[in-house]
Structure 1
Amino acid sequence: MKYLMILMLAALLAGCVQPPTHNTQVVDDRPGLAFELLSSSAKVYELKVDGVSYGRVDQYLAGKNLLRIIDGSHQIELFDRQGKVVYSQRVYLGSGSNRILKIGNYE
């Protein structure tokens, strides 16, 4: 009987607990970099930011996908299939800003 009373008291107290009333959201305010390709042959260019390869440039098309990087000044380079630099530009990206670079055929 004593255990039954303890169990009932525990169930009564558990029923009075309210669930959390708010959610926490994390905002990603890192700057974004995207590309607008003016030539279909530009899709195969390899993208390097500050010497780090991020794959083909067609992964980061304007309106579809942004490359999120830390804010600051960055060296953007594109390489053709032979590994030759075809585009190089230094850009500054501030927190929360997005930049779209227009890329043509440089071969």
Structure 2
Amino acid sequence: MSGFSQSSVSSQNSRGTKRKWVPEEDVALVSYMVNLHNVGTFNADTRFNASYLNELERMLEKVLPHSMLKAKPDLESRIRTLERDWAIVYDILNGKDNSDFGSNKHR
């Protein structure tokens, strides 16, 4: 696939085309979300305000110019996926519905 970035690869599903994210994009997305949170400009109560997705799109365009990430649906969808995945890991590590799975200091 010379000439194409991995991020341009997609698969077909029942809802249309689903974008495949590469680790470089995830790292940049999470890093910029942390930066936005720390700056505080886009914070609203315990979440980001409505315009943060557009700012993320602009920030990511600078470091990943050929990824063509759009606030909606790309960033919005990926953030939902990351939140869901993190919630699963958080619940496992904190004892919620973990079937006695967890860390043991003595093992």
The structure in which a higher percent of residues are helix is 2
Larger radius of gyration: 1
Normalised by the size of structure 1, how large is the TM-score? 0.21
TM-score (norm 2): 0.21
Larger strand proportion of the pair: 1
